[in-house]
Amino acid sequence: MNLREVDLNFLVIFEAIYQERNQSRAGKRLNMSQPAVSYSLNKLRSIFSDQLFVKTAEGMQPTQRAEELAPLIHGVINQLKSIYSEFSKFESTSSKRIFRLSMSDYSEFVILPKLLNRLEKSAPNVQIRVHHTKLNDRHNFLSTGKLDLAVFSHYPQNFQQDKFNVQFSTTEDLFQHKLFDERVVAVARKNHPDIKGKISLNLFLQLQHAIIFLHKDTFPIDSVDQRLHELFEKRNIKFMTQRTSTLAEVISKTNLIGTMVERYAKSFSILNNLQVLELPFSMSPFQMTLYWHARVNHDPAIIWLRNELISVCQSLC
């Protein structure tokens, strides 16, 4: 093989077809026309003396040779990206880059207003897009570049809680950085007839609860119920919702009580006339954690955004 005849862009096109299993989607991803993708695929077939991808009812399926080449080509592309990144700079003031993040509702609520306020001056043309993602998709989206960063909760001091609080199908090849600590508190309306500033465990279990459920696979249990299960206790659940704003509104107008992340609770206590209470049992704090894939660990733009997020979160501590 004469390397002078090999266009490195062919490798990028190979990986796009391999990941998308479709020439049109690969072209759209790379901003190329389908004829240009087809031309490049024919060149690749000639270079490797193999069909590489075969049309089937389920899309372009890789041949055995393509399966063998895929991890090698992926490694070469990542090495080239690292070489480029090491010798390039990110200019935030002039960049028009689009950054794609996945975050929990809570981290959006707490972090994004401060981050966007900060970026108004330092990166006026940068765009932030937040995507709600499923647990099983997040690692794949980070590894393939559909996401740049993710922010989710993590229980580093409690294996059982962390095991229950799974946010990724795997953390292989993921880097992480602690942003800040957080904890869960109880909430009730300020003029609740049975609660004046604190709550006992007996009363907590006796009263009816409104709760948030976030994951269909754990419905209707949350981390508080998991902790009560460890204590051989169970709360009386009356109402369930996926919206924290609805939870706060319901609690403010009924005798139901609930639990919330503390920073959420303090914000909603002002808007909804709620009292914020210590839980009547111990519960491990959790931390909000920033995640990114190894393939962008040296990307100057991602390094810049990571540092911006970290700086913003330091002001929350």
Q: Report how far apart, in Å, the C-alpha atoms of 201 and of each of 113, 227, 299 are.
A: 36, 13, 50
> What's the pLDDT score for residue 5?
63
Q: Can you give the pTM of this predicted structure? A: 0.68
Q: Cα separations (Å) of 53 from 36, 72, 81?
A: 16, 16, 25
What pLDDT, on the 0 to 100 scale, is given for residue 303? 94
- The confidence score (pLDDT) of residue 316 equals 82
SS (HEC) of the chain: CCHHHCCCHHHHHHHHHHHHCCHHHHHHHHCCCHHHHHHHHHHHHHHHCCCCEEEECCEEEECHHHHHHHHHHHHHHHHHHHHHHHCCCCCCCCCCCEEEEEECHHHHHHHHHHHHHHHHHHCCCCEEEECCCCHHHHHHHHHHCCCCEEEEEECCCCHHHHHHCCCCCCCCCEEEEEEEEECEEEEEECCCCCCCCCCCHHHHHHCEEEEECCCCCCCCCCHHHHHHHHCCCCCEEEEEECCHHHHHHHHHCCCCEEEEEHHHHHHHHHHHCEEEECCCCCCCCEEEEEEEEHHHCCCHHHHHHHHHHHHHHHCCC
Q: Was domain 98-181+287-314 assigned CATH 3.30.565.10?
A: no
Please state the CATH superfamily assignment of the domain spanning residues 184-282 in this structure: Periplasmic binding protein-like II (3.40.190.10)
pLDDT at 272: 87
How confident is the model at residue 58, as a pLDDT?
Answer: 86
**Tally of CB atoms within 10 A around 193:** 8
Nearest in space to 268 (alpha carbons), one of 285, 291, 252? 252
Q: What is 3-86's CATH number?
A: 1.10.10.10
Give me the pLDDT at residue 218, please: 45
Q: Where in the chain is the domain with CATH 3.40.190.10?
A: 98-181+287-314, 184-282
Q: pLDDT tens string for the chain (317 positions)?
A: 555 666 788 899 999 999 999 999 999 888 888 889 999 999 999 889 999 999 998 889 999 999 999 999 998 888 887 777 656 678 899 999 999 999 988 899 999 999 999 999 999 999 999 999 998 899 999 999 999 999 998 877 665 666 556 788 888 899 999 999 999 999 999 999 999 999 999 999 999 999 988 655 444 567 898 889 989 999 999 999 988 899 999 999 999 999 999 998 999 898 888 999 999 999 888 889 999 999 999 888 999 999 999 999 998 87
pLDDT of 155: 75
